[in-house]
Amino acid sequence: MRDPFAGLNRRQRWQSRLWKLRRGLTAAGRSAAPPVSGGPPHLLLIGVDTLRADHLGCYGHARATSPNLDRLAAQGCLFTDVMAPAPWTLPSFAGALSGMMPGLHGAHLGGAMRNMDRQAPGRLRPDVVTLAAHLRNQGYRTAAFYSNQFFAFGLAESFGAHEYHNLPADDLVTMAADWLRREAGRPCFCFVLLNDPHEPTTPPLADLAPFLPSPAPDTGRLTELARWGGAVLPHLGRAADARAAEVVAARDLKLAIYDATIHQVDRALGRLQERLESGGLAAHTLVSLFSDHGEEFLDHAGWAARWDHDPRGLRGIGHGQSHFQELLHVPWIAWGPGVPVGARSDTPASLLDLSPTLLDWLGLPPLPRPALPAGLAPDLAAALTGTSLAAMNDASGASGRLRLAEAIAYGPDLIALRQGSWKLIAARDGRPLALFDLAADPGEQRDVASDQPVVLAALRAQAEAWRDSGLGADGADAGGAWGDLDDTVRERLRDLGYSE
C-alpha cells in the first residue's frame, strides 16, 4: 500500500532531509569530549507528548508497541501509578519541570469557561525555578530540543540552549545525542520533547503496517484519521452513537495509527540508547522518560455527552477536556546511574515528583520550594508540590497520599482529586461530577457518589480547602488572545491542531 500520510508529512520530511544534509556537512557529533570522570552524572530527560501509559508493553499493552522501552524499563525503575497535574501539554510539562501545580507555576488557561481555540494560555511565572535553571546553578550545561511550541511558553527559556524543530523522534534524539557528545566534558542536562503521538498522527508506513488489520484499509480513511475524520469518514468526536459499528471500526483504526506512532518513538529511543552505549556515555548518563498526558479514544463518550461541556462540541476524543484516567495516568521510567535496577514502584506518584526524584538520584540539592500560606492542611500542602520518591514506599504512608489535577483547556474549571483508590472529578468549588473507586472500577464507568457519602464529603472538603487557599489554576487573568502572539508561534501551534 502507499503511504497514507505522505502528503501530510511532506514539509516535515523535507525539513528532516535538510537537517540531515547539514549534519553530514558539519560532521555533527562525530568528535566528543570524554564523559565526565567523577562528579554528578549527565541527565537526559525525554518527554513524549500524548503517550498513554496503558499503550506501552511494560504497562500491560498487548500490542508490541515498545520493545526497547520494555527492555530499558526492566533495567531500571518503572512507576506504575503516576498522575499528571493537568490533561494537556503546557501546564503538565511545567508541573513536571518545576515540581508545582499549575496554580503555582502559572502556565495554564484561566476563567470560568476555557476554550484554547480562542484563548491563549499564560506563560510560566518568571520567579518559578525549573529543573533546568536549578541544574545550571549546579554547574550543568543545559539544552532542550522540542517539537511542541507550548514548551516555549517559559520552559524552553530556562535552558542555556533551546531549539524548536518540527521533526520526527529519530531526528530529535539524534540532535540530543550529538549535543551530549559535544558537551560531555562537564555535567550536562538535555531535555527532548517528542511529539509523534500527538495530532496529527502520521507514522511512517514501516511502523504503521504491522498494526493494521488485513486486508489493509483504504488509504483515504487512514489519511483522514491522522486527525479524527473528515469528508469520507465522519469526525469521531461528533459521532451520534459511539457504539455504532462504523464508529467502533474507525476508532480501532485510529488506535492502530496511534500505536504505530508509539512504535516510531520506541525505535528512535532504541537507537538513542545504542548511541549512548557505543559512545561511552551510557554508564554516566541517567535517562528518564515520561509523558505529559494521554489521549481519549471515545473511552468516555457517553459521559462527555451527558456532561456536554466542551465548547468545541466534541465528545470523548483528544485531550485537554476531561480528567479521566486515559488522560491523567502517564508513564514514568528511568534507568542509569543512581536508579534502582529492576525496580517497579507502586507508590502513588505525581509528575510533580519527577524533578525532585531525579535530583535525589543525581545526588544534588532539591529544588527550592514555593512559600505556601500558613494553615493549609498537611496533605493538601504536600499535594501542591512534588517530593522525591527515591526513598518513598507504601509502608511510609504514601498509599493515602492526596494527588491533584486541574487546568483543563476546553470547558469549565474542573479538578480531580485522588486519595487511595478514590477519585473525585468536580467543579472548582467541590460540586461533584463523579466519584470513582479505581480499585473496583479502573475504567471509571460507575459513579459511586451516592453510595459513599463519607468518602465524597472528605474529598469535597479537600476541594473546597484548595479553592479557599487561592492556589488553584482558576485565575481569570491567565492567558490572553492568540492575536497577541507572534505569527511563527501561532503557525507552529496550528500545525498541531491548536488555535484557529
Distance CA 155, CA 147 (A): 13
Complete domains list, the chain, with CATH? 10-30+41-495 (3.40.720.10)
pTM of the model: 0.95
What pLDDT score does 27 carry?
66
The residues facing 403 across adjacent strands are: 418
Q: Which of 415, 286, 402, 426 is nearest to 352 (CA)?
A: 402
Can you tell me which residue has the cell 516510531? 264
Q: Could you list the pLDDT tens digit for every one of the 500 residues in the chain?
A: 889 999 998 888 889 999 888 888 886 545 555 666 577 999 999 999 999 999 999 999 999 999 999 999 999 999 999 999 999 999 999 999 999 999 999 999 988 899 999 899 999 999 999 999 999 999 999 999 999 999 999 999 999 999 999 999 999 999 999 999 999 999 999 999 999 999 999 999 999 999 999 988 989 899 999 999 987 778 999 999 999 999 999 999 999 999 999 999 999 999 999 999 999 999 999 999 999 999 999 999 999 999 999 999 999 999 999 999 999 999 999 999 999 999 999 999 999 999 999 999 999 999 999 999 989 999 999 999 999 999 755 445 567 899 999 999 999 999 999 999 999 999 999 999 999 999 999 999 999 999 999 999 999 999 999 999 999 987 655 667 777 777 777 677 766 666 54
Residue 76, classed as helix, strand or coil, is coil
The residues facing 424 across adjacent strands are: 417, 435
**Angle formed at CA 412 by CA 295 and CA 464, multiple of 5 degrees:** 105
Three cell numbers, residue 189: 542536562
What pLDDT score does 205 carry?
95
CA distances from 263 to 202, 245, 260, 326, 442 (A): 12, 27, 5, 19, 25
What pLDDT score does 34 carry?
60
What pLDDT score does 395 carry?
41
Contact between 276 and 287 (Cβ < 8 Å): yes
Q: Which of 412, 423, 436, 409 is nearest to 463 (CA)?
A: 423
Distance of CA 493 to the CA centre of its chain: 16
The residues facing 192 across adjacent strands are: 46, 145
CA distances from 221 to 3, 20, 227, 432 (A): 12, 32, 11, 39
